[in-house]
Amino acid sequence: MPHSNSNVRFDLEHFFELLPDLMCIAGFDGYFKKINPAVSKTLGYTEAELLSKPICNFIYHEDQPMTARHRDLLLENIPLLNFENRYVAKSGEIVWLVWTSMPVQNQQLVFAVAKNITYRKKLEEYHRIAQIIGSHASEKEPDTVGNYKNLSAADQSWLDDLEKLIRKYTGKADVNIKTLSYDMAISERQLYRRIKTITGITPNKYIRIIRLQLAHEAIKTGKYRTVSEISHAAGFGTPAYFNKLFKEVYNLNVGELL
């Protein structure tokens, strides 16, 4: 017996609700008309909050002009493929999304689906920093590509746990593979291989990258007054090395930020 139209509508609605990707229907007026739960989960806003304000309100300010230009193309009935931009979650976190959007002019609507690529962007930035660290380090093993472009939820969760540990110990104790492997309940060899397989970055460089991020965050708090204080808080033993590395990575002079 053939399915009725109502069953088809139900199946599509069910699919819309369960899909892990972000799905939305937006109006030509610049407002969301319908979103699936993944949108609220990713951005941290309720459905009511997301539907009540212009979409541009949720876009990272630096990406708003670029997004507006691409939105104009949609209004001219030109589909948008693999368009990347940044949103700001309710927590303040920056969320990278890659969009495929199809306009339907006779309904004045845009049907769009997005994937959250925040972690991929994060690890691309880690690779950039790893190259700079590698130019200073005695470590000879090269970095590899890794499989971070197709990162599983399990791998993301594992890296999150690892980063929390690195942050926990930085500035309080020597952060090394032995310490981390004990807390992660795996052998040193397994830890080394898993970090390298997922990220393509050697563990020692990975640890230094997290410590540099901690330094950047510490500077923003305004609690520190000298390069030595920041260097110590981030687990770098030599302020001069830390200062030089920070400048190369972020193109910022630590002393001028304090």
Low-confidence ranges of the chain (pLDDT < 50): 1
Q: Which CATH class is domain 5-116?
A: alpha beta
So what's the pLDDT on residue 137? Answer: 62
Q: Which CATH class is domain 120-257?
A: mainly alpha
Cα 100 versus chain centre, distance? 19
Amino acid identity, residue 247? K
- This prediction has a pTM of 0.81
The pLDDT of residue 1: 47
pLDDT in tens, 130-187: 999 988 766 556 666 666 667 888 999 999 999 999 999 998 768 899 999 999 999 9
Domain boundaries, the chain: 5-116, 120-257
Burial 173-210 (b: 16+ CB within 10 A, else e): eebebeebbeebeeeeeebbebbbebbbbbbbbbbbbb
